[in-house]
Amino acid sequence: MLGLSPLGFLTVPGSGKAITVMHVPVILAATLVSPLAAGLVGATFGLLAGLKFQAPPLIYHVVTRALAGIVGGLTFQAISRTAEEGSKVTKASLATAVTTTAANTLFMSAAIFILHLADPAELFSVAYVHGVIELTIAVVITTPVTIALKARTP
């Protein structure tokens, strides 16, 4: 639903760029289902992003977002296995929000850099500003949702 409405990609006026919240369902799939599910949701996010923004080519959108989802799912599994019992879900969901968002930003920035689609200084600036905003959105939304939903399941 996010990808088919203006809510999924918040366009920055005059820049042709967008801050995304499409990574939120990817993170939730990583924390609530599995790395594979997160990868599939990430690929869907990438497909919708690729249809909306023509550069880089569609395959880069799909692969980078799928990989970000898988990274998030693996992060959640790893932290869930190693964290202390009382704070396991909180630590794992926070780590997943951070790693999935960072992976999404880094993988897409790398694709744009490799394909020479933006000036490196502009790319770094946009990735930094958007990354911080997207990370904040991810942590604020996905952590409490994951904690609440995990508390309801045995």
What are the backbone dihedrals phi and psi of residue 53, each rounded to the nearest 5 degrees, phi first? -115, 120
Question: In this predicted structure, what is the pLDDT of residue 62?
Answer: 96
Query: What pLDDT score does 98 carry?
Result: 98
Q: Kindly report, residue by residue over 101-136, the tens digit of the pLDDT.
A: 999 999 999 999 999 999 999 999 889 988 899 999
Reported as a pLDDT band with limits 50, 70 and 90, residue 10 is: low
Query: Could you tell me if 103 and 71 are in contact, meaning their C-beta atoms sit under 8 angstroms apart?
Result: yes
